[in-house]
Structures are given as structure tokens and as C-alpha cells.
Amino acid sequence: MATYYLEPSRTFSEFLLIPNLTTKDCTPNNVDLKTPITKFKKGEEPAISLNIPFSSAVMQSVSDHNMATALARCGGISFIFGSQSIEDQASMVRKVKEYKAGFVVSRSNLKPDQTLQDVLNLKEENSHSTVAITEDGTSSGKLLGIVTSRDYRLSRDSLDKPISQFMTPFSSLIYGTSGITLPEANDLIWEKKLNCLPIVDEHQHLQHLVFRKDYDADKENPHGLLDTNKSYIVGAGINTKDYKERVPALVEAGVDILVIDSSDGYSEWQYETVQYVKENFDVKIGAGNVVDREGFLYLVKSGADFVKVGIGGGSICITREQKGIGRGQASALMEVAEAREQYYKETGIYVPICSDGGIVHDYHITLALAMGADFVMMGRYFARFDESPTKKLKVGNNFVKEFWGEGSNRARNWQRYDTGGKQGLIFEEGVDSYVPYAGTLKENLDKTIHKMKSTMCNCGSTSIEELQQNARITLVSATSLVEGGAHDVIMKENGLSAE
Ligand code: IMP
């Protein structure tokens, strides 16, 4: 006979936090968001901790090397998507590990025979003010010049004017050569009053750009997530099918931590994959996703360093509609967190859990932490930023970015579905969508973090551990949800104004 769970499963929006006493030392500046990501024994330090409890989702439209460096710079981690060739994924990992703070790969590149109109289109698309002009229009082609807004005047120049006629040519550029250090590059930038210094190799091929603003920005990021060699820490997604080829390549590229990316992780395929990785490599590995105690304990038994929780709550996810499996994210998390506590008491081993998917408001992150998550994984949240791999597009009067599920036809990532054998999936579990463009990762993250720290202070906690121990969480009724928003007033933003 079937087992019934007759309590409805809950989502984050159905809960609120009740404030505890806020003592005078409990201020946002005193809140520490450091959190473990790999299992550890009581009294010992985890091998890897995050400085902020954020990870970006294992998705084509979210986590590439650019997102990974940007997020690690702020103290979180990206798991680079695995739905690409092993070589391409390893190369992204390598780029993160080899990234030198302050040296960026040029993301706006054109050829000299393109036009002013092309420059303007590119600028509208990605808001970069500096365009590198290379022989082949790539970020590593022979550098022929640079275009910034100082090189053209819209009132005077025609839009079909070739770039070669108005760019600052290489012969007039001040540039650095391979091997230059960041302080040296910075000295040149200051001495010559530059905004950007291109770095070229001995064949004049573009390697990096160093921006004045990035140098300052790096100094503003004391929370960068670094390994012992001062490279950024990076994760990567794997599947349960080609792991025997993929994992060695990722380890060789320097990956710090893997995660098995799957919609349902309570499977013998996951168990075998974790065991294989643990037996053959010295690399950390997380597994998932699960939504209950049994799934959690099964993956812990396999040797997983952390366990990811959540089925069907993702913003682009239609798993629940398609297959009828899943559980409200809050209920799943609370049950797994309880199992983790019990396991910790019995064994003295703390296994971090990650709440994956379904974060809509910033306070959902704080709630997830209060319910026992050690960190969250988000797709939609990060997809909105400049640093995500997708194009910024204009729809009507608004800018958007594309965002598609790993289980959508577009991603064609059938390897994340454990159907046994090599057969692909014949129905979709995700959609292809837009999300509103929201600017840079750093400015959004800073705001979110400030909100979270303020909430934690309301709850009398200056660390995630304290929040998990002291939080008082209440269910809310449908009518109190209405009370929680602005209500019974005429909103001015509806276009009304007094005479
Ligand atoms: P979000 O933060 O709500 O956008 O959720 C992101 C999470 O959705 C990811 O970390 C995955 O666990 C999950 N996900 C990604 N792609 C798909 C899909 O196509 N179908 C179902 N779930 C997905």
C-alpha cells in the first residue's frame, strides 16, 4: 500500500521569521556569513568554506568562467555547467584557476571593417565602453586598435563609417606586454591617465585588458574565495554517465569541487558515481537532488561531501507538471536539515546542505539558512546579471536576459536525467525564458547581503550557525500574506498624481 503524507508540502513564501532580541553588538557589520560547503568532523575545519552562502546553478545560461570569477571574487562559488564537451568545460575551469585578478579577457570585440553602427549595437547589448578591435574580431586576435566613446561623435560621424577610420590605432596606444604584473599595469594606468590598458603578447595578439575601475574593485573585495595558490575556487557539474572521462579532465584543469547535477539524485547511479570519484580522486563532490531524509542519508552513505535539496521548485522547472514528482522547497529542506542534525549527533560528522531552486525574494535566502541550509544555489537570480553568459536583449522598453532550463529542449542536457543507459529523454522538464536584466552581480549581491544581514540582526544572530539554532519561524495564512504587502492605499506608481 502507498505511503501518504497528508500535510501539504510548503514553500518559502508561506513562512516568516519572528524577531528575537537584538543586542547592541548585533549590527550588519558584525554579521559573518562564512559557511561550510564540505563535510567535516566535529571540532575540525571544513576543507572548503564559502565566505557568503551563495552558489550559482549548474546551467548553461548561468555559470561559465566569467560568472565563476565574478562570484568567487565576492566570496561565493559557481558550478560550471556540464552540458558541454568535456574539453570546453575543462577549459572554463582552467580559465578560472588561471585568472589573475584585474586582468580581464575582452568581452567586446569587433573587426576594423565593421561600422560605427556595430559599435553602438554592441554597446547597447553589453554596456561596455571599451571595444577591442582585432584582426579577426575575437578576444585573442591581433590587436589593431581600441574604440571608446571619445573616438566618435554621433552628431558628426555617419553610422556606416568603418571603425578603421576612427579607432585609436595600435601605433598610438599605450599597452603592456605579457608578464606585466598588476601593480606595474596599475602604475602605467595612473601615470598615463588611462582608463584601460591592453596587454598583448610578442605577436601583438590581445591577451587581456586591465581597467582602472577593476583595480579599485578588486581592492574592495576582501572576501574573495581563494585557494592556497591565491587562485579562485571553482566548482563544476558532472553527470552519472560520462564521469569516468569528465572527472579526470576537470581534476586535471584544477577544479576544487564537483557536484552531480541531476533532477532526482536518490539513485544507484549517483551512489556509484560518488564512490568512483572518492576512490579515484582527491576532489570534493556533492550529490543530489533529494527532498527527504531517506534520500539524504543514502547520498551521505555514498560519501558525498554535501547534499543538494530540491525537486521541482526551480523558476524554469516543469518537473512537477511533467512527472508529478517533487516537494515544496521549505518542507524538503526542513526534513533534510532535521536528518542532518540527527546524523551529526550520532556520528559527529556535519554534512552541509544546499537549498537549490525556488528562491524568489532575498528573504527566502535567509529563511533557507534559518531552516538549516548552509548555502543556497540559484539560477534565475544570477541569470539577470551582466556576468551571466547570455545576451542582454531589448524587449519593448525593457532589457532582459535569456534564461533556459537544463531540461529544456534548448539545453539538450539529457545526461542529467538518470534513465539508465545512454538513451536521451523524450520530454522536456524545463522552459526557455527571459528574466529582467538587473545590472552587475556585485551591486545586486551587496544589496541582497545587506538585507540578509539586517534580517539576521532582527533575529539576534551574527552568524549562520546562530541563526539556524535560534530562528523562530512561523507559518503564515493566505490572508496575512495580503497584510504583508502594501494594501488599502492608492499606489502613486500607477500613474496617479494629485492636482
Ligand atoms: P532557480 O534559482 O529557481 O532559477 O532554480 C535553479 C535550479 O533549477 C537549478 O539549480 C536546478 O536545480 C534546477 N533546474 C535547472 N534547469 C532545470 C530544468 O530544465 N528543469 C528542472 N529543474 C531545473
pLDDT of residue 496: 67
**Residue 418 predicted with pLDDT over 70:** no
Residues 231, 213: Cα–Cα separation, whole Å: 21
Q: Are residues 152 and 62 in the same domain?
A: no
Is 439 within any annotated ligand binding site? no
Q: Are residues 332 and 443 in the same domain?
A: yes
**Residue 422 predicted with pLDDT over 60:** no
**CATH number of the CATH domain containing 133:** 3.10.580.10
Q: Model-level pTM?
A: 0.85
Residues with CB under 6 A from ligand 1: 57, 59, 263, 314-317, 319, 356-359, 377-381, 405-408, 429-430
pLDDT of residue 221: 73
Q: Which of 78, 67, 20 is nearest to 375 (CA)?
A: 78
Is 262 within any annotated ligand binding site? yes
Residue range(s) defining the domain that contains residue 182: 103-220
pLDDT of residue 229: 81
Distance 379 CA to ligand 1 centre (A): 6
Query: Cβ(74)–Cβ(441) under 8 Å?
Result: yes
Looking at 171, 201, 220, the residue that finishes a domain is 220
pLDDT of residue 105: 81
**Residue 341 predicted with pLDDT over 90:** yes
Query: Is 457 one of the catalytic residues?
Result: no
Give the pLDDT band (50/70/90) at residue 100: confident
- 107 against 371, higher pLDDT: 371
Give the pLDDT band (50/70/90) at residue 425: low
Is 311 within any annotated ligand binding site? yes
Per the listing, cell 529582467 goes with 436
pLDDT of residue 412: 77
**Residue 129 predicted with pLDDT over 90:** no
The answer to the question of residue 216 being in a domain is yes
For ligand 1, atom 10, which residue shows the shortest CA distance?
A: 57
Distance 119 CA to ligand 1 centre (A): 35
The answer to the question of residue 336 being in a domain is yes
The answer to the question of residue 377 being in a domain is yes
Integer CA distances (angstroms), 289 to 172, 334, 351, 417, in order: 55, 14, 14, 11
Q: Are residues 306 and 397 in the same domain?
A: yes
Query: Is 317 one of the catalytic residues?
Result: yes
Each residue of 189-225: pLDDT tens digit?
A: 999 998 899 999 999 999 999 988 766 655 667 889 9
Residues 17, 468: Cα–Cα separation, whole Å: 12
Give the pLDDT band (50/70/90) at residue 343: very high
Each residue of 138-165: pLDDT tens digit?
A: 988 999 999 998 999 988 899 999 999 9
Is 9 within any annotated ligand binding site? no
Mean pLDDT of 263-275: 96
For ligand 1, atom 8, which residue shows the shortest CA distance?
A: 314
Residues 295, 315: Cα–Cα separation, whole Å: 23
Q: Are residues 243 and 376 in the same domain?
A: yes
**CATH number of the CATH domain containing 425:** 3.20.20.70
Which residue out of 406, 415, 425, 433 has the highest number of ligand 1 atoms within 8 Å of its CB and is therefore the one to mutate?
406
**Left, alpha or beta for 332 (phi > 0: left; psi -120 to 50: alpha)?**
alpha
Q: Are residues 61 and 82 in the same domain?
A: yes
Q: Are residues 238 and 372 in the same domain?
A: yes
The CA-based angle 92-98-102, given to 5 degrees, is 110
Query: Cβ(270)–Cβ(262) under 8 Å?
Result: yes
Distance 384 CA to ligand 1 centre (A): 15
Is 263 within any annotated ligand binding site? yes
Distance 311 CA to ligand 1 centre (A): 9
For ligand 1, atom 3, which residue shows the shortest CA distance?
A: 314
Query: From the candidates 26, 317, 354, 459, which is the catalytic residue?
Result: 317
Looking at 196, 220, 244, the residue that finishes a domain is 220
Distance 242 CA to ligand 1 centre (A): 21
The answer to the question of residue 82 being in a domain is yes
Residues 215, 233: Cα–Cα separation, whole Å: 20
Q: Are residues 215 and 267 in the same domain?
A: no
Question: Count of CB atoms within 10 A of residue 278's CB?
Answer: 16
Each residue of 374-417: pLDDT tens digit?
A: 999 999 999 999 999 998 999 889 999 999 999 888 887 767 66
**Residue 498 predicted with pLDDT over 90:** no
Question: Count of CB atoms within 10 A of residue 203's CB?
Answer: 7
Q: Are residues 27 and 94 in the same domain?
A: yes
Q: Are residues 452 and 407 in the same domain?
A: yes
Give the pLDDT band (50/70/90) at residue 490: confident
Q: Which of 343, 345, 363 is nearest to 353 (CA)?
A: 343
Q: Are residues 286 and 392 in the same domain?
A: yes
The answer to the question of residue 120 being in a domain is yes
Give the pLDDT band (50/70/90) at residue 428: confident
Query: From the candidates 354, 384, 416, 459, which is the catalytic residue?
Result: 416
Beta bridge partners of 237: 259
**Residue 499 predicted with pLDDT over 80:** no
Distance 162 CA to ligand 1 centre (A): 43
The answer to the question of residue 413 being in a domain is yes
Per the listing, cell 598615463 goes with 192
Residues 119, 96: Cα–Cα separation, whole Å: 28
> What is the atom index within ligand 1 of the atom nearest the CA of 308?
12
Q: Are residues 136 and 210 in the same domain?
A: yes
Number of domain units in the chain: 2
Q: Are residues 115 and 89 in the same domain?
A: no
The answer to the question of residue 498 being in a domain is no
**Residue 167 predicted with pLDDT over 90:** yes
> What is the atom index within ligand 1 of the atom nearest the CA of 261?
12
Residues 327, 324: Cα–Cα separation, whole Å: 10
Is 354 within any annotated ligand binding site? no
The CA-based angle 261-262-265, given to 5 degrees, is 115
Give the pLDDT band (50/70/90) at residue 462: very high
The answer to the question of residue 89 being in a domain is yes
